[in-house]
Amino acid sequence: MISIITQERLLGASLGVVLAGVVVFEQRRYIYASISQNQSQVKEPIFGKKTRSEFAHTWNKTVDQTFGPLIKSLSSRGW
């Protein structure tokens, strides 16, 4: 026969496992709910794709015009 102390330990362990399982389940549910809420609140970018690519092109052109002479100078010196 199982002693009373062993029964109490088994009962305590099983209740602990159940409690830990409930806590983990609730935390996962809370995390998944918050993730889905955040994904539904994602806003569209301010600029569309076309505007962003035009901006990138303008930026690259400006950088080339600004640093072009410096790059040519360094290239002529063998850098």
The mean pLDDT value of the chain amounts to: 84
pLDDT at 12: 93
The pTM for the full model equals: 0.44
Using 50, 70 and 90 to split pLDDT, how confident is the model at 48? low
Q: Is the pLDDT of residue 21 over 70?
A: yes
Cα 18 from Cα 11, distance rounded (Å) = 11
Question: Domain coordinates of the chain in residue numbers?
Answer: 1-42, 46-79
**Residues 47, 55: contact at Cβ < 8 Å?**
yes
10 Cβ contact partners less than 8 Å away, ≥ 6 residues apart: 2
Average pLDDT estimate for 45-55: 74
pLDDT at 34: 85
**Residue 19: Cβ-neighbour burial (10 angstroms; 0-12, 13-18, 19+):** exposed
Cα 59 from Cα 9, distance rounded (Å) = 70
